[in-house]
């Protein structure tokens, strides 16, 4: 329970207990569960404000709500990763750029398009919208487990280093079955979403490995954002008039 509470406090703006210790090895397995909790709040928020505003506005407010409830944790990582990995900079230079608190042009572009894609995809959903809002945040946070498992940490210090202090065990992936199971309620699109998740996650891991052969906290955050936007797009497929 302490691991779950710590994971909630790390991934969201909620502060439930001062007693929950920051123990990454106990927190990581619960990332998909926290993703589901975020999805529940997002889905309920979507249904509620849909009583007041039309779909375009609701979709935009959904994206803003998602950024708020997570404290913009992974959005910042997306921007830093885009700044660092753009071009053919050597590994050490890329890592130094990602550590810089300032944001560059590529970071701003990546964040803009990341949030815009989420808005457009959510707005384009015709069926399975609530289930998509429920499971996609869970899939996105599940991708972080794979990045932690298959790549080494690229810095000698940093917030993300604690997540690599010990190798993540395969039993820690059991909760990934939760969004996989719930996605079956999407019907015919379930297989597309599941395959999309593994494709996007695998592609990001392989790209990181080829590019600088390591990973950082920012790059884990970018995995979350890219997976989230990509899977929302998958759900919106086939909804054109």
Determine if the pTM surpasses 0.75. yes
As a whole-number percent, the residues of the chain with pLDDT over 70 amount to 93
User: What is the C-alpha separation between 196 and 177, in angstroms, rounded?
Assistant: 15
Give whole-number Cα distances, 75 to 46, 119, 143, 189, 228, in Å.
Answer: 21, 14, 15, 27, 11
The predicted structure's pLDDT at residue 21: 67
* C-alpha 19 chain-centroid distance: 26
Q: Which band of pLDDT confidence, cut at 50, 70 and 90, is reported for residue 160?
A: low
Q: Which band of pLDDT confidence, cut at 50, 70 and 90, is reported for residue 152?
A: confident
164-208: per-residue pLDDT in tens?
766 777 888 888 999 999 999 988 889 999 999 999 999 999 999
Angle between helices 129-150 and 105-123 (to 10 degrees): 140
Whether the predicted pLDDT of 238 surpasses 80: no
Whether the predicted pLDDT of 240 surpasses 60: no
Q: Residues 49-67: what's their mean pLDDT?
A: 94
Q: Are 78 and 216 in contact (CB under 8 A)?
A: no
Locate 225 and state its tokens.
């954002």
Q: Are 13 and 71 in contact (CB under 8 A)?
A: yes
Q: For residue 80, give the nearest of 63, 94, 70 by alpha carbon.
A: 94
Annotated domain spans of the chain: 2-236
Whether the predicted pLDDT of 228 surpasses 50: yes
Whether the predicted pLDDT of 108 surpasses 70: yes
User: What is the C-alpha separation between 203 and 108, in angstroms, rounded?
Assistant: 22
Give whole-number Cα distances, 111 to 16, 26, 149, 175, 239, in Å.
Answer: 29, 30, 26, 29, 25
- Residues, the chain, total? 241
The predicted structure's pLDDT at residue 69: 93
Q: Are 190 and 183 in contact (CB under 8 A)?
A: yes
Give whole-number Cα distances, 137 to 12, 67, 86, 226, in Å.
Answer: 12, 11, 26, 11
User: What is the C-alpha separation between 171 and 55, in angstroms, rounded?
Assistant: 40
Cα angle 81, 86, 89 (rounded to 5 degrees) comes to 105
Whether the predicted pLDDT of 16 surpasses 80: no
């Amino acid at each position: 329970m302490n691991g779950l509470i710590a994971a909630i406090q790390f991934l969201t703006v909620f502060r439930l207990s001062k007693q929950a210790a920051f123990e990454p090895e106990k927190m990581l397995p619960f990332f998909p569960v926290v993703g589901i909790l975020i999805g529940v709040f997002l889905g309920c928020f979507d249904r509620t404000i849909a009583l007041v505003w039309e779909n375009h506005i609701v979709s935009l407010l959904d994206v803003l709500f998602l950024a708020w409830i997570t404290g913009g944790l992974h959005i910042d990582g997306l921007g830093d990763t885009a700044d660092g990995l753009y071009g053919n900079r050597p590994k050490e230079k890329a890592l130094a750029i990602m550590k810089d608190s300032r944001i560059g042009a590529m970071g701003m572009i990546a964040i803009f398009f990341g949030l815009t894609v989420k808005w457009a995809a959510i707005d384009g959903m015709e069926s399975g919208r609530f289930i998509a809002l429920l499971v996609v945040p869970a899939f996105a946070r599940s991708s972080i487990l794979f990045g932690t498992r298959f790549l080494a940490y690229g810095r000698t210090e940093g917030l993300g280093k604690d997540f690599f202090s010990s190798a993540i065990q395969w039993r820690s992936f059991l909760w990934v079955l939760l969004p996989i199971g719930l996605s079956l309620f999407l019907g015919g699109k379930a297989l597309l979403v599941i395959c999309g998740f593994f494709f996007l996650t695998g592609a990001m891991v392989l790209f990181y490995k080829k590019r600088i052969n390591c990973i950082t906290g920012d790059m884990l955050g970018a995995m979350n954002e890219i997976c989230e936007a990509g899977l929302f797009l998958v759900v919106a497929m086939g909804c054109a008039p």
